[in-house]
Amino acid sequence: MAGRAASLFLVSLMLGSLFSVLFEPPQLEEEASVLESEERLFEGFTTGENWLNLNNQTIAVPNGFNTVDVYDYSDVGVLINNKSDASKTIGWAFVEARNISLNRVFVFDLDGTPTGETINRDQFNEYFALPFLEMLNNRSNLSEMNYLVTSKGMPLRVNGGADKASFDQEFALLGGSYNSSIGGNYWSTHTYGPLSGGDFESFSRQKHGFYLVTRLTGYTVETALNLIQKANNSLGQSGTYVLDLATNRNESGYKFWNDDLYAANATLSELYNQSVHFDEETGFVTNVSNVMGYASWGSNDGDWGRNWGRNSGFETEDASWSSGIRYWNATVPTLSAGDAFAWKYQTDVKNGGNAAVEASISASCSDESSNGTQGIFAEYFDNEGVSFNTGSMPSLIDRIPEHTRIESSLQYNSMNSAYPGLDDRFKNNWGARFSGLIDIPETGNWTFYLTTDDGSELWLDGTSLITNYGSHGMRERSGVRNLSTGLHDFKIEFFQGGGPHGLHLKWEGPNQSKAMVPATAFVVSDGKPPSPSTLIHAWNFDEGVGNQTNDSVANGSTLNLRNMDATNWRSCADGGCLWYDGVDDYTEVDVDDWVGNFTVSQWVWANSTTLPNYASVLAVSNNAGSNTSFQHAIFSGEWRLHNNQTHTFGDVEAQQWMHLATVFDNGEARQYLDGVHVRTTSFPSGSLNNIDLYKLGVNRAGSTFFEGMIDKVMVWESALSDDEITILSRDIYQDCQAYSGSGASGASLEQVVTIDAENKGHAWIVSLEGKRNGDVYGSYTMIVEAIDEQGNILSTNTSEAKTFENNWGADAMRFRPHENASSLRIFIPLNVVATSTSGSVYLDGFSLKAIRPHMSWLNGSIAETAVSTGGRSFNLDTTYGQSLVADLLEDGVSGVKGYVYEPYLTAVGQPSVLFSMYAQGYNFAEANAAANTYLSWMGVVVGDPKMAPYFSTLHDVEVLDTRTLNNFSVGQTGYIEVALQNLGMAGGQGRIDVINLQGSVLMASTNVSVVGGDQNGSRMSVSVPVTPTQSGWLDVRVRYAHDNSSSFERNTDNNFVVVRIWVNAAPSIDSVACDQDEYARGDSFLCTVIASDDERVVSVQMAWSVVCEVCTLANATWHINSMGSSDNGTTWEAMITLPINITTGKLALRITAMDKLALVTESLVENVSTVLDAPASWFGPHVSNADAQWLGIGQLPSTSPMGILRGIPQTITGCVLDVDHDNISEQPQFLVSRGQLGELHYV
């Protein structure tokens, strides 16, 4: 009992020590440490009941959204050409509409700054590039400028060779990473967007190295200004994407763009849930409503350019129509007697196709002799399209004059208009030849003064006297020549460029002061042939009677008339002549001409243009087909020089005197028709030396006869010069009256075209080509009337007048008929000037096309077409097809890309990227830049760069802050509250992710739904449950991630915050031990636990159990003891007292440690010690009658002093000291050597 008491006493002492540690007030230093640790745990977190004012401010964008703020023009600059009214109007309108800072307005104002669409490389540098770079250097806060806007009035393209480029694409590179690519041959490539391996991302010049440049332009300033308004109204618009595949473009080199249209269709419809009109058929798509995006091959589509005009090439002749051409009716003018006009189907003059319509015109003209006619023979030439060196005179001998007349004198002051009596052919870019004879009144030195604007030259008697070359104002030059009294041949040739023009001829000589040469000094001709010394034959047919006509050269070569009589003698323009009946009339003479170089000249008058082939006006010899003879003959309505080959002079003009001359000169034959050198042909030298016969009116074979008149046949044994031929050709001239069919109220063509349903509402373009031939001048106009079903005229459009030129030229007019029109009536009136004498105008290539596509465009709509030069110009006279971009703008699209020169198809934007970017809310400029990687090339992007209608489909979640709602411990779920707001217009679906930055491990994710930024609830908070698996300080990213399948988000820079959280670790139970390996039941002993924690272990509980040899822990009975610590939570101790009745076996301990954040760790330790049966101490035996009185716990003597009496019962007593004695299993056994033992009893 003493041991037990001692044990109790000891146990009492241990429990007292434990409680003294648990309840001892902590030291101040330790308390401060604990408080500091707690403050670190909550560092960076916001607390409070109205956290971030979320309860009061529940709307992220309380004032709603407007276009300018949403599109954000703070990084846009504007380029303005101060020399262009258009650029100033458009540029400043954009600046005002978008609140552009003046710091980002760049005005180009140097003297000479070009305003045209095309500039050269030097102009690009001098007037635009260098001033811009200087302005950049002199201004601040421009590093964030990403976009530039140009306009109509700024250059469109930079011309050149391989370095030609779009102005906008060149300008985009200034001062950036690609600056060295400016002016290079071919393109460079950028790194923006998915085609270059990049991401879908917002554009940044700082990152990508160039500006995004777009322009505001169109046919008119109004169109450009409308683009600003369309962008204003674009936000929130959504419609259909039209993708028009061209089946004729599936060949190699083109098919990839068709393939991309397939990709665009799949992407838009499947990924971005957009409405798509995808056409794979041959027809060209038009008339689609609510169009937001459009991509096609444009004019490269085989079905695009359909001509709705009927018989537009005037191909089909049809006498049932008044013009003689199917589907075309015609009117003719009212004419005076002698004038003529006729519409005609013909196939000779055409501009493609098989035919064209001709309007032939002739005024009343008479052939007159120039012999003795007062005045100057004037020939006027249209130099439009003719190139020559102004430092000399252009050659006129091989050109047919457009107009001839007799001038009285040469006294034209400087003027801008055409000379009186001339039309506008002779206002700019024209030339003239003035020739005749000048009468010198007195022999001596004569000075001539030639004053002209522009160039001129004066010849006297075949040699040059004055040159006044070059382009200049009225400038006088002079020359002196000693001249004899009488007539002298003179010629003045003159040319005029642009601007004013004038011509004065003055003289000064014996008894004549300097003055204008008077009209009386001029005569056209005196009837004398040139080079009289080499003239060997001259038949003038002036006899009027007889069967012969004399050679005026005294050589006896008299022409004999065959089968002719008195009726063949006629009075003609220049005296007498002979008529040939075309049946058997001819004249002939035998000669003996041995000549080397020689010239033949004759005047001829054919009765019709249909005379038979070989009908000849001159034949040398009877040797048909011989190379040693020749003839002037008619073949297929043409005058020709014929030996055994034919060489054309030109067309036969019926019933008109014409001059034929052939000059044989050292193996060449020069042919002249009416004084014009028309051909030079090689003839073997000496092949025509011997001529023994001349025949007139019949061919060499004598088989084909000429019908008409012949006069003034002359032969020279020399090669006459060009000037001498000119003298001969003016012997007869035409004197014409003013053409009476002039004006626009006379001749016209008309056609009616029904408007098909597919073309309703379209704009149209009507075009027509025309040219003139001969001395005719005028213009044509196209008038289109829109007619309804009842025949009422609803609208009328009239084109500008188009002048007929020598070459084919086209006129075009764009128009939009009244919306209720069912048909179009096209009038084509002609306006021929009164100065026209004889000739034709031709019309061909009539085209009536619906400008396609025509769509119902939404504000914010964009387009891309695979057309090489669809953006070549924004002027109304641009060729249809090359005007496609301007036509789309005129039709109503809000933005479109084109190309100013041939770009190659690989430079065209890919619709799959263009529209994907746009549908995700990227702006117009970004989408175009991402759709093709070419820089410094041919593209021009037209529209507001920041236009982004799908921005309304974006949400923009900003994570504002986070806070923890409880402490975090490993393995336990805590909560992070995330404050966020949606700054975007659309609601969205997404999730909040909590990511451990170490290893980017996702710790938690919670779905979240946000409403539009202007709606209640767009500022909110979300609680995210987080169960950490890692302890200690953790850097975590709390981010919002949007769901691509349902909504889009572009700005992700504000989607996350990084926070640091403390995660408490579970306590660690480092060791468990008791003070001995074995204990007996009833023992008391001390057990110790060593525990640790990242903060502090605040309690440890010990449960113990003794497990018998055949028992398991599952059935164990646990006894719980609290433990105490004397060293601030590291070493924990507790006493265990084993009950005496407990089973023996192995001691097991289950330790539960808890830290200050209530995180618990358990540890089960088996076989800590062995629990045994307590040892027994026996005392005795005590014999009741033999031993003295005994307390039971003392030792007895080995012998009893009293002894044992026989026969007397004795009680033998044993006493055991055993705390766990079992009366049954531990019964003692008494042994005696004598006597009989009775029953054993416990007392």
Q: What is the pLDDT of residue 878?
A: 76
What pLDDT, in 10s, does the model give residues 1016-1029? 999 999 999 999 99
What pLDDT, in 10s, does the model give residues 395-410? 999 999 999 999 999 9
Put residue 500 in one of left, alpha, beta given phi > 0 → left and psi -120 to 50 → alpha: beta
What pLDDT, in 10s, does the model give residues 891-907? 999 999 999 998 889 99
Question: Phi then psi for 299, rounded to 5 degrees?
Answer: -70, -10
Domain boundaries in the chain? Answer: 73-244+853-945, 329-363+741-850, 366-523, 532-720, 953-1064, 1067-1172, 1175-1243
The answer to whether residue 1241 scores a pLDDT higher than 60 is yes
Would you say 674 and 729 are in contact if contact means Cβ atoms under 8 Å apart? yes
The answer to whether residue 578 scores a pLDDT higher than 80 is yes
Q: What is the pLDDT of residue 1048?
A: 81
Q: What is the pLDDT of residue 1214?
A: 86
Q: What is the pLDDT of residue 17?
A: 31
Rounded to two decimals, the pTM is 0.67
The answer to whether residue 30 scores a pLDDT higher than 80 is no
Q: Say whether 953-1064 and 329-363+741-850 share the same fold.
A: no
Structure tokens at 130: 């260098």
162 DSSP assignment: T
| Average pLDDT, integer, range 916-933 | 96
Q: What is the pLDDT of residue 687?
A: 67
Q: Which of 115, 149, 125 is nearest to 940 (CA)?
A: 149
The answer to whether residue 512 scores a pLDDT higher than 80 is yes
Q: What is the CATH number of domain 532-720?
A: 2.60.120.200
Structure tokens at 1242: 């416990």
1236 DSSP assignment: -
- Is the domain spanning 953-1064 CATH 2.60.40.150? The answer is yes
Q: What is the CATH number of domain 1067-1172?
A: 2.60.40.1930
- Give the pLDDT band of residue 532 (cuts 50, 70, 90): very high
The answer to whether residue 49 scores a pLDDT higher than 80 is no
Q: If residue 1063 lies in a helix (H) or strand (E), which one and from where to where?
A: strand 1056-1064
The answer to whether residue 859 scores a pLDDT higher than 90 is yes
What pLDDT, in 10s, does the model give residues 52-71? 999 999 999 999 999 999 99
Would you say 117 and 156 are in contact if contact means Cβ atoms under 8 Å apart? yes
Residue keyed to tokens 């403390």: 1062
| Average pLDDT, integer, range 97-117 | 97
Taking the C-alpha atoms of residue 1108 and residue 182, their distance in angstroms, rounded to an integer, is 95
3-state secondary structure of 421: coil
What pLDDT, in 10s, does the model give residues 775-805? 999 999 999 999 999 999 999 999 999 999 9
Q: How far is CA 852 from the centre of its chain?
A: 18
- Is the domain spanning 366-523 CATH 2.60.120.1560? The answer is yes
Dihedral sign (CA 516, 519, 520, 525): positive
Q: What is the pLDDT of residue 1207?
A: 78
Structure tokens at 927: 């989408």
What pLDDT, in 10s, does the model give residues 327-358? 999 999 999 999 999 999 999 999 988 999 99
Q: What is the pLDDT of residue 686?
A: 58
What pLDDT, in 10s, does the model give residues 645-703? 899 999 999 999 999 999 999 889 999 999 999 999 998 765 677 889 999 999 999 99
Q: Which of 196-200, 305-309, 1198-1202 shows the lowest mean pLDDT across its residues?
A: 1198-1202
Would you say 846 and 880 are in contact if contact means Cβ atoms under 8 Å apart? no
Q: How many CB atoms lie within 10 A of CB 961?
A: 18
Residue keyed to tokens 């001349």: 694
Q: What is the pLDDT of residue 1189?
A: 82
| Average pLDDT, integer, range 770-775 | 93
Question: Phi then psi for 544, rounded to 5 degrees?
Answer: 80, -15
The answer to whether residue 26 scores a pLDDT higher than 60 is no
Taking the C-alpha atoms of residue 863 and residue 220, their distance in angstroms, rounded to an integer, is 19
Would you say 418 and 427 are in contact if contact means Cβ atoms under 8 Å apart? yes
Q: What is the pLDDT of residue 471?
A: 94
Taking the C-alpha atoms of residue 363 and residue 340, their distance in angstroms, rounded to an integer, is 7
Architecture of domain 329-363+741-850: Sandwich (2.60)
Would you say 712 and 731 are in contact if contact means Cβ atoms under 8 Å apart? yes
